[in-house]
Chain A
């Protein structure tokens, strides 16, 4: 089995450090640091007040320890909450971007230069605490689509931000969401106007570079009535012996008949074989189907991070609204993941679909935790949940915690779960047909994840399968 495990546990390819002059705020967290962040972003007073309110709440809260993960105490005073390259471009002028930043993103496969941009995809590139470039902004503006760093949105579109920010994930939602609200630095803002089908895939790439810092991204996406948007985030970080904290908040709002498709390819540094270093990925993601017939679909491929703690969920408020969650989570070496979703059915005839695929290798621990809640008024609600676990080797673990809370008798719930193990006989069968051991594992893992990969935008499905070290099944046949 060693060759199978070795294949899954490939070396991390994005672990380089960019040597760039940065401004890093001294470690520590207090109201002055929050005022400093707010001032650096040129924020209005209401935003600072909101941050401080969240901070004061956070002080009274305690870190959650119910997830099925183990880690030492986090010293919040030892983290720097703001780091930014010194030479930053003026808005909309990529010529002034430090060539080192351009080269960094190019190395990560995210070209931001005008002539090299990915076709069909607009990218917001976030480096530590700041957005360094957002492509195709002007082209999108022609359709009325706003796609910009959230710090820019707070300054330029305050009415929209104020109307929706914190309405899906309140400032005191949970410990890490409160921390994020207090200290968030950058992330993306998207607004798609009524009836517009966003002509490009929107994408944000988050890169942690500075050491001893945390990254606190904040993303807000609003799809107005009858609109459609597909958004994807990717991320990576250097290999370091220390653990770094990434506590993000993502809020999605879909108004009547709007559809938001949100995909994540999470590849933060997972730590080494012995569990030294790696990112703590403690994230709150939630979407609200506010209007009737709206739809929010989450797809995530989680391969990185030492610890992952995230439950992208949907509040199905509008009648006939649809929530979806498709997930592949891979844990190898000593990685731990406790991930799943929350589907809260409020409106009539609301539907949710959950497909979770957990792959555990090495000494990895993989937990699916999901809540499906059918409220009293959710007449005719339906849920389908499927949780599949795959074990590679005999030192890893898979755990499933489905929670179901039904308060309306008309609900129809289906739940399926399976656990399988890649076995010697399966590998041998494929090798006997001429495939190498590596290709055999790839094919088995690929087949296992197929229902999730087919939900990814085509450009990123290739990236996702490559990340798992597996070749994509031909689109024909």
Chain B
């Protein structure tokens, strides 16, 4: 699904990622953990194509395609989805109109017929039912006046409706209380599928109590310094990150 090799990324002239290798197979859930400032968010932003993140070296192959040759919107239409850590507000545009525009951009790209508002409403209702949510957010302007939890929930709802093949979750758990965290995690679990992969960036292990990853990676100082199974997350919870950072420096 995704193969990243030797990825180096700079932001405003400062190198953040210093050679990241990452292979994610179809249907797998990978967790990227690491201390603040290690480059976790940078990895997801660079994969999604944020113009402020400059790829200086390395490759990323997604579904056999050179990811970095595609514009951000082309990556999105090909099925790469980023759940933002800080979703932006859009005044005067309702969530349902925004989401329909996004769905239709993807459908158009796939050569499918665009959905009219009524068709879209049916698709939306089915999705909401699938993840067990109501539609209270749909007629409000995109993220405007949303609480932190509502914003994160809205990101996962978009994920559900857009049906990506590669979902990147950037600290979706940050700022959530335990109930909101469970709600979001349950929705993600329901969206796991054999042809859908997840890369979940998180600072804390607690999200992984609810979403069991296939692989856990530790990112420190711009490199993946350790990879392992779900048990690695528990080890990090107990020991913190410092032992790995030292190790990284020695190696």
List residues of A whose CB falls within 8 A of some B CB.
420, 424-426, 428-437, 439, 443-444, 446-451, 473-474, 476-477
Contact = CB atoms under 8 A, between A and B. Distances in A.
A477 B105 contact: no
B12 interface: no
Interface in B27-83: 48-52, 71-73, 75-77, 81-82
Given A428-B72, A431-B72, A473 B93 contact: yes
A450 B97 CA distance: 13
B84 interface: yes
7 contacts: A428-B72, A434-B76, A439-B105, A447-B90, A448-B91, A449-B92, A476-B118
Contacts of B101: 433, 435, 439, 443
Chain A interface secondary structure, helix, strand, loop or mixed? helix
Task: Report the 5 A-B pairs with minimum CB-CB distance, sorted nearest first.
Answer: A447-B92, A434-B105, A450-B92, A433-B102, A447-B93
Given A446-B93, A477-B96, A431 B71 contact: yes
Contacts of B86: 425
Given A432-B72, A433-B76, A448-B91, 6 more contacts: A431-B73, A432-B76, A435-B105, A439-B105, A447-B92, A476-B118
Contact of A426 (B82, B88, B162): B88
A96 to B, nearest CB: 47
A110 B71 CA distance: 40
Contacts of B120: 477
Contacts of B97: 473-474, 477
Nearest to B86: A425
Contacts of A433: 76, 98, 101-102, 105, 158, 162
Nearest to A449: B92
Nearest to A435: B105
Contacts of A450: 91-93
A237 B118 CA distance: 42
A340 B71 CA distance: 41
Interface residues of B, number: 38
B141 interface: yes
Contacts of B109: 434
A436 B77 CA distance: 10
A474 B86 CA distance: 27
B240 interface: no
A172 B80 CA distance: 65
A443 B84 CA distance: 19
A432 B71 CA distance: 9
Contacts of A426: 88, 90
Contacts of A443: 90, 93, 98, 101
B92 A424 contact: no
A251 B140 CA distance: 40
Contacts of B71: 431
Nearest to A428: B50
Contacts of B73: 431-432, 434-437
B83 to A, nearest CB: 10
A426 B98 CA distance: 13
B205 interface: no
B231 to A, nearest CB: 33
Task: From A429, A443, A449, A451, name the one whose CB has the most chain B CB atoms within 10 angstroms.
Answer: A429
B185 interface: no
A436 B104 CA distance: 12
Interface string B139-183: 001000000000000000010001000000000000000000000
Nearest to A450: B92
Contacts of A451: 92
B117 interface: yes
B165 to A, nearest CB: 13
Contacts of A473: 93, 97
B100 interface: yes
B94 interface: yes
Contacts of A474: 97, 100, 117
B229 interface: no
A476 B88 contact: no
A205 to B, nearest CB: 29
Nearest to B96: A477
A436 B97 CA distance: 16
B106 interface: yes
